[in-house]
């Protein structure tokens, strides 16, 4: 089920939508995925800093998050109509996982079988992210052990 689409966070007013079908009930995570050159540690550090990854500040951790604001909504498609399930405005999304990409969770929701559309918009863009490949991803949520 993983679905990812490009999502430009560099400027305000960028919109993206993703239609998908759920076959069985599951927890859905909507994330921002930030990409870096995996063979280049300096590029990972550059992207980490741009998206506000955790760092030490004196004796405490500073985790600013990315300097953007995103509106994300999930709609259930009912024939020709759509019904809003949830909408959130996320300011300064913080990293929630990292590995081959850096990921910031925007939303977690339990979905039942059916057809859905997720819409996201940048309300406040960050020009410094213009050289960071970013995607909106919809995946089955990992909820731990």
Domain boundaries, the chain: 3-54+62-140
- Which of the pair, 143 or 74, is modelled with greater confidence? 74
> Predicted confidence band at 142 (pLDDT cuts at 50, 70, 90)?
confident
* 3-state SS assignment for residue 117: strand
What average pLDDT is seen over the chain?
89
DSSP-derived secondary structure for 17-80: EEEEEESS-EEEEEEEEE---TT-HHHHHHHHHHTT--EEETTEEE----S-EEEEEEEEEETT
Residue 145 has pLDDT above 60, yes or no: no
Residue 54 has pLDDT above 90, yes or no: no
Q: What per-residue string of b and e applies to 69-96 under the rule 16 or more CB within 10 Å gives b?
A: bbebbbbbeeeeeeeeeeeeebebbebe
The CATH architecture to which 3-54+62-140 belongs is Sandwich (2.60)
Instruction: Please compute the mean of the pLDDT values over residues 22-43 and round it to a whole number.
Output: 92
List CB contacts of 87: < 8 A, sequence separation 6 or more: 71, 72, 73, 74
Considering the entire predicted model, what is its pTM? 0.87
Q: Strand 69-78 relative to strand 97-98: parallel, antiparallel, unpaired?
A: unpaired
- Do the beta carbons of residue 1 and residue 20 sit within 8 Å? yes
pLDDT over 70 percentage in the chain: 90
- Which of the pair, 116 or 44, is modelled with greater confidence? 116
Structure tokens at 116: 């859905």
The predicted-structure confidence for 71-117, as pLDDT tens digits, reads as follows: 999 999 999 999 999 999 999 888 888 888 899 999 999 999 999 99
């Amino acid at each position: 089920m993983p679905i990812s689409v490009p999502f430009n966070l560099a400027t305000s007013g960028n919109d993206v939508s993703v239609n998908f079908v759920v076959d069985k009930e599951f927890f859905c995570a909507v994330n921002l995925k930030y990409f870096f050159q995996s063979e280049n540690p300096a590029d990972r550090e550059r992207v980490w800093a741009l998206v506000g990854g955790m760092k030490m500040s004196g004796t405490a951790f500073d985790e600013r998050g990315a300097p953007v604001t995103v509106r994300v909504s999930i709609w259930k498609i009912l024939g020709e109509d759509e019904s809003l399930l949830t909408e959130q405005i996320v300011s300064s999304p913080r990293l929630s996982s990292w590995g081959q990409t850096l990921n910031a969770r925007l939303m977690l929701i339990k979905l039942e079988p059916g057809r859905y559309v997720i819409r996201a918009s940048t309300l406040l863009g960050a020009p410094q992210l213009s050289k960071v490949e970013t995607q909106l991803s919809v995946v089955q949520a990992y909820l731990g052990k």
